[in-house]
């Protein structure tokens, strides 16, 4: 795991704690996650300020939110294969906690916090930049600011189509770490897409994004 993270820990206990979910025991990663969240936001904010010197505060906040949301951090955690090293309680392990977006995103933030405590801000900055660098480089400041549900709704309304229907298909996981699967259905266009997320809202946004992409490709 240390090789994948590319930081040699002076205190290996910090990495072990960062990869320990609260379901495993009291010595877990929640405090490191709290710290890592702040460090992550600071590093990303600095990177955005340097890259977009003329951007307004609102634009920078939107860009940062897109870079550090749960889905983005979940994807980074997958790239680092954090799930393979997570320590989970029996219940979480049995229900697939090592693949759950919320748990993996939190683990990545906890690792950021652990790197910060072990090596300082420069080490944490390097770790974040290494793992988010591609996403930082791909940012389009002119991309639509509207969320997927709003964008889809306005597209349909402009064409006098009925609004989409959203329905929860499944809810899995324990109460504190649920996974929602939601369908977005546009009957008049015969479009049906699905989305997943740690809440109904995020799952609906995911499904709306899929519907929007399908409609945009066929337009």
DSSP string, 150-173: HHHHHHHHHTTPPPPEEEEEEEES
Whether 30 is catalytic is no
**Residues 185, 191 contacting (CB under 8 angstroms):** yes
Ramachandran assignment for 64, one of left (phi > 0), alpha (psi -120 to 50 degrees), beta (any other): alpha
Closest CA to 41 of 109, 102, 123: 109
At residue 125 the predicted structure's pLDDT band, cuts being 50, 70 and 90, is very high
CATH of 2-137 among 1.10.1040.10, 3.40.190.150, 1.10.1520.10, 1.10.1200.10: 1.10.1520.10
The model's confidence at residue 136, banded by pLDDT at 50, 70 and 90, is confident
Name the residue ranges covered by the structural domains of the chain.
Answer: 2-137, 148-218
- pTM, full prediction: 0.68
* pLDDT value of residue 132: 92
Q: Which of 33, 92, 109, 204 is catalytic?
A: 109
pLDDT at position 124 is 96
Select the more confidently predicted residue: 155 or 144: 155
pLDDT at 3 > cutoff 80: no
Query: What tens digit of pLDDT does each residue of 189-217 get?
Result: 999 999 999 888 899 999 999 998 898 87
- Position 1 pLDDT exceeds 70: no
pLDDT in tens, 56-86: 888 888 788 878 888 789 889 999 999 999 9
Overall average pLDDT of the 158-167 stretch: 90
Within 8 A by CB and 6+ apart from 129, the residues are 43, 47, 136
Mean pLDDT of 174-192: 89
CB 82 within 8 A of CB 108: yes
Measured distance CA(205)–CA(99) in Å, rounded: 20
Domain 148-218 carries which CATH code?
3.30.160.20
The predicted pLDDT at position 219 comes to 60
Q: In whole angstroms, what is the distance from residue 99 CA to residue 60 CA?
A: 30
Position with higher pLDDT, 116 vs 163: 116
Active site residue 181: no
| pLDDT number for residue 144 | 59
Tell me: the pLDDT tens digits for 5-60? 889 899 999 999 999 999 999 999 999 999 999 999 999 999 999 999 998 888 88
């Amino acid at each position: 795991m240390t090789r994948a993270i590319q930081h040699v820990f002076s205190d290996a206990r910090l990495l072990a704690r960062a990869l320990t979910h609260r379901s495993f025991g009291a010595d877990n990663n929640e405090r490191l996650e709290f710290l890592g969240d702040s460090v992550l936001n600071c590093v990303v904010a600095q990177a955005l300020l340097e890259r977009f010197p003329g951007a307004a505060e609102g634009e920078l906040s939107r860009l940062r939110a897109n870079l550090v949301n749960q889905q983005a951090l979940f994807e980074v955690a997958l790239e680092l294969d954090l799930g393979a090293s997570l320590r989970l309680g029996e219940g979480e392990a049995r229900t697939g906690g090592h693949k759950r977006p919320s748990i993996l995103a939190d683990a990545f933030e906890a690792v950021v916090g652990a790197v910060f405590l072990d090596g300082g801000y420069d080490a944490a900055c390097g770790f974040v930049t290494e793992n988010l660098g591609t996403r930082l480089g791909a940012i389009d400041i002119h991309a639509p600011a509207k969320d997927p549900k709003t964008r889809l709704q306005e597209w349909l309304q402009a064409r006098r189509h009925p609004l989409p229907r959203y329905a929860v298909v499944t809810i899995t996981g324990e109460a504190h770490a649920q996974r929602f699967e939601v369908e977005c259905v546009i009957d008049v266009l015969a479009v049906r897409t699905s989305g997943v997320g740690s809440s109904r809202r995020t799952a609906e946004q995911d499904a709306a994004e899929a519907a929007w992409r399908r409609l945009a490709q066929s337009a």
